[in-house]
Structure 1
């Protein structure tokens, strides 16, 4: 009987092994990390896996990297990796490697801190003047959702803390750390499905396009603004510095403004390209109203003010000491924009209407609400067969993101304030519905917002 039982058990184990061998291989994030750890361990490295990470876009995470303890080169919990006796201690020329593995669609960067005294402030300035950025040279970009940093000898101290910045909306990470006598096998050889083919060299786009005569550009900007309904267009002139920088300080009326910054192009054959970058700030508070970092020769800033005030407009990018013109196009504030929440909220609500090219409201809001950071649901009663416009604007605090969305029956819409924006707006119409669900999502520091809903003819 014992022999029969043993024979049956062996038959069952063989059948299970056959089923396991015939099962399709399932490759996920943990499997990829285990494969990297296994291959590095088999080459004699001491390997450890850190706890998984989950990082949102815009939030840099500092990860502490420590060498795996001496004694074993196989990491606990890695299937199929036997413990290999490790060295009694770390050698002076030993290499430390950290591999960050995420899903293939995730893009991220790794950055290490330099050694003490490695790059002085003066050396960093000289490198930047030569077109090199020492910070960018320390930054490692992911390829196929994976990035590896190796430092040997005294440079291992750079891996004490690694900054991970996610360029995608979010990402989950497995981290594998290895100590070895030489740099371990490249991760592209272990995970060939993550490797990309050769990249074509970047082409030369040539010199930037010439913007043309300054007077013609100023006249063209004024005609464009008046065609869009601007009440008036007022130009202001100044001369930029020898390095192409300067700052306007202009007193503006309440309402919505479009500021076009245009610089004269020198007649000399050899000259710097004209590419004005600028920002608008409230004088006194320093609050940023808008900024332009585009590659266009002229700069453009759009914002709305809930009350008259002085606005500072610093700029750079002119081709030396040339004439620079600030052209201010002004639209009056739409009627029935509530002012009892303060001038900042009034300007942000008007900015949402202006940015969406919504018609000016002809009646008071049918609903108003005030909320704080987070996600807030605001139900609003509506009339069937009528259209509405909803706007959310910041009252105080600082914003990283502001989103306004509406759900009405089978229809939905949303609007994001954008980078640096403080107002969002959506238009919607009711067919048979008698209520709409508005959602305001605010992320920031002590952010307080106001919501207003107007009926539209």
Structure 2
């Protein structure tokens, strides 16, 4: 009897062990299936897919080293055609096409701009662009869509892809770069990566009435606190009453230096009233030169500019809700030291505005390089000290400016700045690591523009 019970107990333990073994085998199999399952596609997978599909179509494909670029830093990437392959293979043909694609995360926005010496517009094309108010460089710039952008050049035009400038508009971005040489245009990027194709754009909705900006006195005080927090040395308010249709004009005498004019209008207390949406501009009396303009959809308006000498400025406005009180708050910053005045008051003010716009500290030493240029592209070599930082500014002296750009290249790093709308000055800060020279390039477009360049050492 005891022997029978022992036999039954041993049978139960054997069955339990077998069940545990089967469960362990099942878990191991599931883990193996999970490990064998394809991982979620990432940036490298997308680049590999593009390279594989182009290779299957007969193209010679190469992947460049990954890039990481911060906002405000322009990286110039050298693009070499993929090698011909095995010995005896046919070399590149004159009519061959070269394609380069930059891939980033779908949330990254960036632009590509190839070299222009092979695709420079003709004089007639340039004239057509100018008559249309367009910048030929904007035509060459390619904007990304869902984190991807590609450039295709065939024949002699592919020489323009030897160097491509990448500028990140987002905070930062990591990039994979794929280059392909083919007898004709390769398969389109949209067909290979359909998940990156953007869908239809929804119609704009009605945002409703603008928000109430609040009491005028509180807004004036808030503007003064904001200006003092930004380093303004003095804030002076001036007030007047608008006309019955909500228009008017200030005429104020301003000192040399930088100014921020905040215009704010009183909001009537009645229930039914016109919306308050001030639009204004500032013009120099005597010359009529436009210093600033604000036509945004906001209750208040703001104008920023710098004057190289004291002068009278007229500020016409419209958009007040009837005959209400309007306040102009003038925040003032002193003229930065070591900004030269011998190029004229206009250039002095524009150089100061380039510093103010980039929130750069006032230079504490004289400029190490000064140059004067005119229409077109001008390259200025600058000797720098390793481990030191600098600020380069370009400003209009006379003429009419339609576009102004300053860029600096140090080794494989680059930075640039475009003068904003209604602005006549642009500036960029840069630091040397081990380099002893930098290449500063100024591009000016307009009606007989004359500009000045200053490069200051910064602490």
TM-score (norm 2): 0.58
2:277 aligned partner: 275
Residue 222 of structure 1 deviates from its aligned partner by 0.2
Q: Aligned runs of 1:169-184 on 2, under 5 Å?
A: none
Q: List runs of 5+ in structure 1 lacking aligned partners.
A: 1-22, 25-52, 62-101, 107-195
Shift of 1:59: 3.6
User: In the TM superposition, what is the alpha-carbon distance from 1:410 to its structure 2 partner?
Assistant: 1.4
Bigger mean CA deviation after superposition, 405-414 or 198-207: 198-207
Trace 1:270-419 onto structure 2 (pairs within 5 A): 270-419=272-421
Relative distance call for 1:54 and 1:197 in structure 2 (3 A) is farther
Does 1:431 find its partner at 2:423?
Answer: no
Deviation at 1:384, TM superposition (A): 1.1
d(CA) in 2 for partners of 1:372, 1:241: 44
Distance 1:201 1:428, change over 3 A: closer
Could you report, residue by residue, the CA deviation over 1:398-435 in whole angstroms, capped at 9, with x for unpaired residues?
A: 10000000001111000001111100001111111111
Deviation of 1:58 after TM superposition, in Å, equals 5.9
Give the structure 2 partner of residue 42 of structure 1: none
Structure 2 residue matching 1:206: 3-state secondary structure: coil
Give per-residue Cα distances to partners, 1:228-248, cap 9 Å, x unaligned: 110000000001111111000
Residue 60 of structure 1, aligned match among 125, 132, 144? 132
Paired residue for 2:20? Answer: none
Q: Distance in 1 between matches of 2:380 and 2:434?
A: 19
Q: For 2:270 and 2:448, how far apart are their aligned partners in 1?
A: 51
Q: CA deviation at 1:366?
A: 0.5
Deviations 1:99-144 (A, max 9, x none): xxx99x99xxxxxxxxxxxxxxxxxxxxxxxxxxxxxxxxxxxxxx
Note the residue ranges of structure 2 that are not aligned, 5 or more in a row.
Answer: 1-56, 59-123, 134-138, 144-197
The corresponding residue for 2:217 is 215
Match of 2:250 in 1: 248
Could you say which residue in structure 1 is the equivalent of 2:235? 233
In structure 2, C-alpha distance between the alignment counterparts of 1:443 and 1:232, rounded to whole Å: 36
Distance across 1 between alignment mates of 2:409 and 2:243: 52
Tell me the secondary structure at the aligned position of residue 354 of structure 2: helix
Q: Which stretch shows the higher mean deviation, 356-365 or 198-207?
A: 198-207
Measured in 2, the distance between the counterparts of 1:199 and 1:261 equals: 36
User: What's the CA shift string for 1:328-379, capped at 9, x where partnerless?
Assistant: 0000011000111000000000000011000110000001000001110000
CA RMSD in angstroms comes to: 2.4
Note the alpha carbon deviations across 1:266-310, whole angstroms, 9 max, x for none. Answer: 111111110101000000110000100111110000000000000
Map residues 191-202 of structure 1 onto 2, 5 A cutoff: 200-202=202-204
- The total of aligned residue pairs comes to 277
Return the match for 1:448 from 421, 436, 450: 450
Please give the alpha-carbon distance, in whole angstroms, between the structure 2 residues aligned to 1:229 and 1:376.
34
The CA distance in 1 between the partners of 2:356 and 2:346, in whole Å, is 15
Once residues 235 and 58 of structure 1 are traced to their aligned partners in structure 2, the CA distance between those partners, rounded to angstroms, is 41
Q: Which residue of 1 aligns with 2:45?
A: none
Give the 3-state SS of the residue equivalent to 2:350 in structure 1.
helix
Give the distance between the partners of 2:262 and 2:425, measured in 1 at CA: 21
- CA drift of 1:60 comes to 2.7
Partner in structure 1 of residue 107 of structure 2: none
Structure 1 residue runs of 4 or more that deviate by more than 4 Å after TM superposition: 53-58, 196-201
